[in-house]
Amino acid sequence: MADRDLLRATAAETASLIADGQVSATECLDAWLARVGEDDLNGYLWKADAAAAGQTVDRAAADPVAGVPVAVKDIFCTAGVPTTAGSRILDGYLPPYTATAVSRLAAAGVPMLGKTNMDEFAMGSSNENSAFGPVLNPWDHGRVPGGSSGGSAAVVAGGLAPWALGTDTGGSIRQPAALCGIVGLKPTYGAISRYGMIAFASSLDQCGPLTRDVTDAALMLSRLEGRDEMDSTSVGIEGGVDPPSATDLKGLRFGIPADLIGEGMEEGVREVFDQTAATIERLGGSIESIKLPHSDHGISAYYVLAPAEASTNLSRYDGVRYGIRESNADLDSMYEETRGEGFGPEVKRRIMLGTYALSSGYYEAYYGRAQRVRTMIVRDFTAAFEQVDFVITPTSPTVAFGLGEKTADPWSMYLNDLYTVPMSLAGIPAISIPAGTAEPAGGGPGLPVGFQIAAPAFSEQSLLEAAFALEGAIGFNQAPPGAKR
Amino acid sequence: MTGTGELEAVIGLEIHVQLSTRTKMFCGCELSFGDQPNVHTCPVCLAHPGVLPVPNRKAIEYALLIAAALECEVAPRSIFHRKNYFYPDSPKAYQISQFDIPIAGAGRLGDVRIHRVHLEEDAAKMIHVGESGRIQGSDASLVDFNRGGTPLVEIVTEPDLRSGAQVREWGQLLRATIKQLGVSDVNMEEGSLRCDANVSVRPSGSDRLGTKTEMKNMNSFRFIERGIEAEIARQKEVIASGGKVVQETLHFDPSTSELHSLRSKEEAHDYRYMPEPDLVPIAPTRAMLDAAAGALPELPAGRSRRYREDLAVSDSAALQLSFEVEWAEFFEGVIAHDTEIEPRAAANWVTGEFAAELRKQGDQGLSETRVTPDALGALVKLVGSKRISHASAKDVLAEMVAEGADPLEVVEERGLEQISDSGELEAIVATAIDENPKPAEQVRSGNEKAIGALVGAVMKATQGRADGGEVTRLLRRDLGL
Ligand SMILES: [Zn+2]
């Protein structure tokens, strides 16, 4: 069969092609590795070579997904394979072990295509904070792919990988999926082991799939979820995850948090959102207005809690044991110069913010108060889910913005996570599916708009069913112009 | 404040106990002592990116056991915190410890109240190359991560101690208690038990606390006693001369008996404590608490009380026996030999003559000696029932320790049995008075001390087989006293 057909296929379709013998796992991997070699988006920081990745294919398990290769965000530790988390401080670092999520995919016979670019330590919404240069949005190379899993989103959207692994702390899977026109799922906190995922904000970090469709997201999630004895906060999803099959939304109630959405939303994004809400009703679902009264404080609380956790998580990068060391003069110089040279400006900003928030005398006013806001947001969702089955919002208030457009103003960048952060604080699952395209604020060709659906904790199956039914009705099948898919 | 005579010392202790679990607190690396550097390490205890701590169940059980032994209240849900500080011995740059909700609070050991008990991980060991011996000015500093991540229990007392001697005695009681729980080696020289003391002085009877100094790195309770006494004296002197005690950390050098300041308050860290998001709360189940209570052996304080109150054992013997389980067990074997044995006498034999004889004959330990508790019981019974004299018994004991001999056989072979026939003894006494007229006359004329020579003569004649009390009684009667 032609490579072109293979590169157009979803992961599930590729798995069928391999199962039917139309293509061998090795041919599939070779075709994808050749494509990875053509990366023009700066999406990959490390690319597998055929010999190394092929070993995984040869001893592939009986798993139906065996042989469908995956792109892995560079935040996952991979034994003997460079892992930087987008930071210069880990330049040259070769982990001695492999993250559980990556091991689970490998155990299913899924070879790794490469490691994808990202915002440094997952801090960012545009992928412009990578120490290794920004990732370009395959829809418009002058625009950002979103972040922090910008590389993973861009390579899937741009036909450089069939599917990818990303991580989400405040929207880092969902927002880039939306800006690149693909599916991104952040599972419930605790559904998947965090072992080997380089920590940004431990109480919020969760990994998940970035895929071309909802079926692929379910397929990957089913391989990733589960309790891991290396992560005492992991629990898995009871009953596992099956491929979704729903075709309607009869009897399901969808809540729109009126007090959350509105602010700063682009007109085109609103139109696509309204159309999608109408599609839900056409499929038999109902739309209700709900209240999430504390969600508008979500960003403020998030930008205290996440930097606070980050400030301690990133303290280990001290030049003593691994990564770069900039000075041997004395202890203080080693710390100061290694961290001064190794970290980029956004990471430093958040370390300082977080250090301040945890300082004695300020802890209660900042960290303590932010924790209470978080508790209230959790309660808001609990109350909302007594009224509705799902909460829906646009994934991002804007379509992909221009490179450099928001870098000077961190707060406007942070606001891009306005709709995704509350779900992260509540620890609940949320998915972004492409719902259409809209003209950017300054005019130009249409860019993808994401639609976010959130569900109660550990109800991934019903979330995927709803997303699957909606995806079928929306029929979004556009690829970026010029992408080989 | 005036005159130093009115000042009293107030002392509180912070004791770190390394738990003797098989593996570290948050990873699967084995605990070790004295191995090659950095062989017991893994990504977790080296704090590689992306790793997560997984709590050691055994360490939690051990902490619960300590909490039970110290009669503490166990928290239904205690949480771990991150204690942040940059130093190469802390690979994460934070120590996982407990902060506002420790695993256990409010307890007691003897007459000292326990403030709290919490779980944490030990730091790695640093070696500074060069003359300074410290990180400042060293040529290089090396880090051995073998120790990093060892489970630690920190025990904090209330400021209930008043002197260096009391600290030593109580510290020894705590060490014996933890040792008997089997949860730690409590070896101070190897650092598996470390004791810091907070020392202050105040006017006697006041309920206010004075400014305290912290004394660190003392590796025996003897040194701690001396260090604390030196510091109390220093503080009293400072106050007597109109000065003020400055809060600081001190090191006591036992070789010079000098106190050195390590760092002052100005350099105190802001540890930026934060709840550890990588760990869930410790919520001990009823079964875990019951298991801890059920696993509690009889501990030194309780055992010593039982020996004193129920068995009338002397204070010093009771304390000595209860600090060392094997000696206590030996003692209980001795009194189990026969119900007629007096426990008080048996305890004195075990901790006195027997222990001394073991030391004398090649410094034997209880595990090496051929003397069984039963055999020693037989000997104690022979003395108690006056079948042999105390002097003969010591000879028999020496032979038992040397040869593992049976005391009854030795007594028989050597004919050591006391002369029980009073007619025979009376005759020997009469002969002794006749043959020693000088002391006999002295006794008759009121010099009772002179009776010793006559007793000696009887003993010589009987080869120690006479009961000393009975000999004295007969001599006094015959000499008209
Ligand atoms: Zn380890």
A324 or B389, greater pLDDT: A324
Residue by residue, DSSP assigns B225-237 as: HHHHHHHHHHHHH
pLDDT digits (tens, 9 = 90+) for A15-62: 999 988 899 988 999 999 999 999 999 999 999 987 766 666 655 557
Q: Is residue B381 part of a domain?
A: yes
Average pLDDT, stretch A149-174?
Answer: 97
d(CA B333, CA A326): 67
Instruction: Identify the domain boundary among B261, B277, B293.
Output: B293
Please count the other Cβ atoms lying within 10 Å of the Cβ belonging to residue A267. Answer: 9
| Whether A73 is catalytic | yes
d(CA B40, CA B57): 19
Residues of chain B where predicted confidence (pLDDT) is lower than 70: 1-5, 132-133, 217, 263-268, 420-422
**pLDDT of A360 over the 60 cut:** yes
Cβ-contact A201, A310 below 8 angstroms = yes
A87, A126, A148, A152: the catalytic one is: A148
d(CA B215, CA B228): 8
**Chain B contacts of A304, Cβ < 8 Å?**
none
Beta strands in A172-319 (DSSP E): 183-186, 206-211, 253-257, 286-290
A286-290 and A390-394 strand pairing: unpaired
d(CA A137, CA A114): 18
Using a 10 angstrom Cβ sphere, with 0-12 exposed, 13-18 middle and 19 or more buried, the burial of residue B81 is buried
pLDDT digits (tens, 9 = 90+) for B225-259: 999 999 999 999 898 888 888 888 888 888 888 88
pLDDT the model gives residue B266: 46
Residue labelled with tokens 């007969």: B474
pLDDT the model gives residue B449: 82
**Are B351 and B396 in a shared domain?**
yes
pLDDT digits (tens, 9 = 90+) for A66-110: 999 999 999 999 999 999 999 999 999 999 999 999 999 999 999
Average pLDDT, stretch A228-243?
Answer: 96
Among B239, B242, B244, B243, residue whose Cα is nearest residue B4: B239
Q: Which two tokens stand for residue B270?
A: 């802001």
What residues contact B362, with CB distance under 8 A and at least 6 apart?
none
**Are B130 and B151 in a shared domain?**
yes
Q: Which domain covers residue B338, as residue numbers? A: 300-414
**pLDDT of A226 over the 70 cut:** yes
- The whole-angstrom distance between residue B279's C-alpha and the CA centroid of its chain comes to 36
> Residue A322 is nearest to which of B48, B143, B273, comparing CB atoms?
B48
**Are B324 and B459 in a shared domain?**
no
Beta strands in B204-269 (DSSP E): 213-218, 248-253, 258-264
Q: Is residue B107 part of a domain?
A: yes
pLDDT the model gives residue B117: 97
Q: Which two tokens stand for residue B52?
A: 């997560």
Q: Is residue B1 part of a domain?
A: no
B216 or A347, greater pLDDT: A347
pLDDT the model gives residue B2: 46
**Are B232 and B360 in a shared domain?**
no
Q: B47 and A203: CB-CB below 8 Å?
A: no
**Are B366 and B233 in a shared domain?**
no
- Taken in order of first residue, the domains within chain A and their CATH numbers are 3-224 (3.90.1300.10), 253-292+379-462 (no CATH), 302-363 (no CATH)
d(CA A69, CA A49): 12
Cβ-contact B180, B174 below 8 angstroms = no
Instruction: Identify the domain boundary among B261, B293, B325.
Output: B293
Does residue A304 sit in helix, strand or coil?
A: helix
**Chain B contacts of A359, Cβ < 8 Å?**
270, 272
**pLDDT of A188 over the 90 cut:** yes
**Are B274 and B309 in a shared domain?**
no
**pLDDT of A405 over the 50 cut:** yes
**Are B148 and B220 in a shared domain?**
yes
Alpha-carbon dihedral B118, B124, B125, B129, rounded to 10 degrees? -140
Q: Which two tokens stand for residue B159?
A: 């400021």
d(CA B4, CA A466): 81
Q: What percent of chain A has pLDDT over 70?
A: 97
Q: How many domains, chain B?
A: 3
**Are B11 and B63 in a shared domain?**
yes
pLDDT the model gives residue A2: 64
pLDDT the model gives residue B265: 47
Q: Which of A42-51, A148-157, A175-184, B214-223 has the lowest mean pLDDT?
A: B214-223
**Are B269 and B177 in a shared domain?**
yes
**Whole-prediction pTM value?**
0.89
pLDDT the model gives residue B268: 62
**Are B142 and B224 in a shared domain?**
yes
Q: Is residue B76 part of a domain?
A: yes
**Chain A contacts of B272, Cβ < 8 Å?**
311-312, 355, 358-360, 363
Q: B86 and A335: CB-CB below 8 Å?
A: yes
Please count the other Cβ atoms lying within 10 Å of the Cβ belonging to residue A92. Answer: 10
Q: Is residue B2 part of a domain?
A: no
**Are B340 and B436 in a shared domain?**
no
**Are B322 and B434 in a shared domain?**
no
| Whether A126 is catalytic | no
B193-203 and A44-47 strand pairing: unpaired
Beta bridge partners of A114: A47, A71
Does residue B97 sit in helix, strand or coil?
A: strand
Write down the ipTM of this complex.
0.95
Instruction: Identify the domain boundary among B414, B447, B463.
Output: B414
pLDDT the model gives residue A54: 61
Q: H helices of B153-208, where?
A: 164-181
pLDDT the model gives residue B345: 87
CB-based burial, A462-476: b 16+ in 10 Å, e otherwise: bbbbbbbbbbeebeb
pLDDT the model gives residue B3: 45
CATH number of the domain that residue B464 is part of: 1.10.10.410
pLDDT the model gives residue A259: 82
Q: Is residue B12 part of a domain?
A: yes
d(CA B40, nearest CA chain A) in Å: 15
pLDDT the model gives residue B4: 44
pLDDT the model gives residue B458: 84
Among B187, B176, B185, B204, residue whose Cα is nearest residue B3: B204
d(CA B83, CA A285): 50
pLDDT the model gives residue B420: 64
d(CA A481, CA A254): 33
pLDDT the model gives residue B269: 77
